Amino acid sequence: MTEQSNAESGDAKAWSGRFNEPVSDLVKRFTASVFFDCRMAEQDIRGSLAHAKMLAKQNIIGAQDLADIERGMAQILEEIAAGKFEWSLDLEDVHLNIEKRLTTLVGDAGKRLHTGRSRNDQVATDIRLWLRDAVDQAIELLGSFQRALCDLAEQHADTPMPGFTHLQVAQPVTFGHHLMAYVEMARRDAERLVDARRRINRLPLGASALAGTSYPIDREFVAQELGFEAVCENSLDAVSDRDFAIEFTAAAALVMTHLSRLSEELILWMSPRVGFIDLADRFCTGSSIMPQKKNPDVPELVRGKTGRVNGHLVGLLTLMKGQPLAYNKDNQEDKEPLFDTADTLIDSLRIFTDMVSGIRVKADAMRDALKQGFATATELADYLVKRGLPFRDAHEAVARAVREAETRGCDLPDLPLEMLRSFSELVAEDVYQVLTVEGALAGRNHIGGTAPAQVRAAIARARARLA
Per-residue pLDDT tens digits of the chain, which is 467 residues long: 334 434 333 445 666 667 777 878 888 788 789 989 999 999 999 999 999 999 999 999 999 999 999 999 999 999 999 999 999 999 999 999 999 999 999 999 999 999 999 999 999 999 999 999 999 999 999 999 999 999 999 999 999 999 999 999 999 999 999 999 999 999 999 999 999 999 999 999 999 999 999 999 999 999 999 999 999 999 999 999 999 999 999 999 999 999 999 999 999 999 999 999 999 999 998 888 988 889 999 999 999 999 999 999 999 999 999 999 999 999 999 999 999 999 999 999 999 999 999 999 999 999 999 988 899 999 999 999 999 999 999 999 999 999 999 999 999 999 999 999 999 999 999 999 989 999 999 999 999 999 999 999 999 999 999 99
> CB count, 10 Å around CB of 57?
16
Cis peptide before 326 (omega within 30 of 0): yes
Helices (H), 271-330: 297-320
> CB count, 10 Å around CB of 378?
18
Per-residue pLDDT, 291? 83
Per-residue pLDDT, 150? 98
Helix (H, G, I), strand (E, B) or coil at 276: coil
287 is annotated as an active-site residue = yes
> Under a CB-based contact definition with an 8 Å cutoff, are residues 400 and 336 in contact?
no
Per-residue pLDDT, 287? 83
State the first-to-last Cα distance of the chain, in angstroms, to the nearest integer: 56
CA-CA-CA-CA torsion sign (9, 15, 20, 24): negative
d(CA 405, CA 414): 8
Residue 295 pairs with which residues in a beta bridge? 285
| Domains observed in the chain | 3-115 (1.10.275.10), 120-158+175-367 (1.20.200.10), 371-466 (1.10.40.30)
Go through 232-264 and write b for each residue having 16 or more CB atoms within 10 A of its CB, e for each that does not: beebeebbbbbebbbbbbbbbbbbbbbbbebbe
Q: What DSSP letter does each residue of 73-91 carry, written as one string?
A: HHHHHHHHHTT-----GGG
Per-residue pLDDT, 4? 40
Please pick, among 48, 114, 166, 446, the residue that the annotation labels catalytic.
Answer: 166
Go through 275-313 and write b for each residue having 16 or more CB atoms within 10 A of its CB, e for each that does not: ebbbbeeebbeeeeeeeeeeebebbbebbebbeebbebb
Per-residue pLDDT, 9? 38
Rounded to two decimals, the pTM is 0.91
Per-residue pLDDT, 11? 45
Helix (H) or strand (E) run with residue 264 in it: helix 243-270
Q: How far is CA 107 from CA 10, 23, 48, 89, 102, in A?
A: 10, 26, 16, 22, 7
Per-residue pLDDT, 1? 31
Query: Which residue type, as a one-letter code, is found at position 450?
Result: T
Please pick, among 9, 88, 271, 287, the residue that the annotation labels catalytic.
Answer: 287
Residues 6+ apart with CB under 8 A from 346: 134, 137, 138, 141
